[in-house]
Amino acid sequence: MPITAPSPTAEAPWSEFEKAVFRLAFLYFFLQILPLDWKYYRDVAANWHGFSFGDIFRLAHYSPRVFNGPDSFVNWAVVALVAVVGAIIWSFFDRQRTEYNTLYYWLRVLVRYRLAAALLAYGFLKFFPLQAPPPSLSHLNTHYGDLSNWKIFALSLGIVPSYQSFLGLVEITAALLLLNRRTASIGAFLSLSFLGNVFLSNLAYEGGEYVYSFYLIALGLLVLWYDARRVNDLLTLERPAVPNRFRLQLPEAWKRTTRQGLKWGFVLLFVAVYGAKTYAAYQRGSYHYPAATGLPNAAGLYNVREFRLAGQVRPYSATDPERWQDVVLEKWNTLSVRSNQPVVLDRTNTEAIHAQDADRNFEYAGAAGRHYYAYQLSPDGQTLTLQNRNPLEGPGKLTLHLTRPDARTLTLRGTDEQGRDLQVVLEKRDKKYLLEEATKTGRRGGLKL
């Protein structure tokens, strides 16, 4: 006996349960997607820097925040409560409607484009490997145990830019598939496979984006749910599946102009403009580290050959809280000091793009064991003004007279934060790093450190 598929009836009436669930889902995702919170617009306006790639990233990086502070699922609970109340009121005033096919179509469009915007925002940061930068010299000279789990994960990803680019390509591909109605379910499936790993990585390494990544997973599940039943019927249960025959009826003029204009406007902003600006940022260098250049021909690791405080010589000691143990000068204007003085840990572990050097905290966030200072060199090249980069440690400031007896030695004289006389003699070490040597010869080549 031949098997016949049921006739497609896109306009078939919905059950009362299906209508109730849809009303709740529609209001919930509508509130989750559209930025109705005035604080979102305030924050975007306050951090606007002339339509940079960071500005576009902030537009896409949205999730509803009812409470201040780190993102949490409590915000979701409030949104769900509002959606439940709204769904009850909606059900009371809309009892006669038999189906919500058109609203379901528009909800899916809204979710598709919201998810695509988020994937593109992160995808281009990875494709042009910016999201996870390579370790700085200070990171390479920080004890492994002094790094947080998330910092170790970020630095581990930063040393393999080709893999990071591959991850970005996956996100961009999934986003582009979401932009087409016919391939949206494929894009949702691809994004869920990727975002599941992102969510688990955030949980395993104590990252701060686990709520946001699960938010994107929820969006992907809604997009995939549209075809999930048909796919399950056809591939898993091996029974006839009802094809999707629904077609949105729109005025011809509106369909050709407004609809296509909105779609291509989205593509222009989040693919063309954002992609070009992200590439330009990649050419300039990592946005995680300061852009200001440092002391010429001075980058490297320095031993503290001599340390005098208040006129007294302090010999090397691993327990002395005030004596410097070693110093790193970066290519940019950062000087980091390793000492036994406790570090007030910056626990920031969420993605943020800062335009100003003073706000770029990736160097010291999630890293103990070193104190980070921004420095300015006077016009005559003889005075360094050091300012503690970590605001949690207070406004530590030092003014030091700089001399360079030779190419390998730096002498600093001045006063410390307490106004005591300070004299430090730094001697540069010839230290080789595995990452640099592997770049020269390849990982399979002969490496000598």
Rounded-to-integer distance, Cα 100 and Cα 22, Å: 8
Rounded percentage of the chain residues whose pLDDT exceeds 90: 67
Span 146-166, pLDDT tens digits: 999 999 999 999 999 999 999
Mean pLDDT, to the nearest integer, of 26-42? 88
Where residue 255 falls among pLDDT bands split at 50, 70, 90? low
Mean pLDDT, to the nearest integer, of 278-285? 94
The CATH number of the domain where 398 resides is what? 2.40.128.280
Residue 208 lies in a domain: yes
241 with 342, same domain? no
Rounded-to-integer distance, Cα 149 and Cα 78, Å: 31
More confident residue, 44 or 147: 147
pTM above 0.85, yes or no: yes
111 with 182, same domain? yes
What is the per-residue burial (b if ≥16 Cβ within 10 Å, else e) of 168-200?
bebbbbbbbbbbeeeebbbbbbbbbebbeebbe
264 with 327, same domain? no
236 with 380, same domain? no
Q: Of 56-70, 157-171, 186-200, which range is least confident?
A: 56-70
257 with 394, same domain? no
265 with 319, same domain? no
Span 212-229, pLDDT tens digits: 999 999 999 999 998 888
Output the average pLDDT for the chain. 89
239 with 354, same domain? no
Rounded-to-integer distance, Cα 375 and Cα 365, Å: 18
Are the C-beta atoms of 164 and 157 separated by less than 8 Å? yes
User: Residues 6, 9, 12, 17: what is their CA dihedral angle, to the nearest 10 degrees?
Assistant: 60
Rounded-to-integer distance, Cα 104 and Cα 99, Å: 9
267 with 333, same domain? no
279 with 310, same domain? no
Residue 276 lies in a domain: yes
Residue 372 lies in a domain: yes
Name the burial class of residue 202, with classes exposed (0-12), middle (13-18) and buried (19+) by CB atoms within 10 angstroms of its CB: buried
- Please count the structural domains in the chain: 2
332 with 244, same domain? no
Residue 160 lies in a domain: yes
pLDDT at 79: 93
Q: Is the pLDDT of residue 8 over 50?
A: no
202 with 307, same domain? no
- Structural domain that includes position 76: 16-284
269 with 372, same domain? no
Residue 444 lies in a domain: no
Strands (E), 310-381: 312-313, 326-329, 334-338, 370-377
Residue 3 lies in a domain: no
Residue 174 lies in a domain: yes
Q: Is the pLDDT of residue 417 over 50?
A: yes
Where residue 286 falls among pLDDT bands split at 50, 70, 90? very high
pLDDT at 9: 45
Residue 438 lies in a domain: no
Where residue 258 falls among pLDDT bands split at 50, 70, 90? confident
Rounded-to-integer distance, Cα 171 and Cα 248, Å: 28
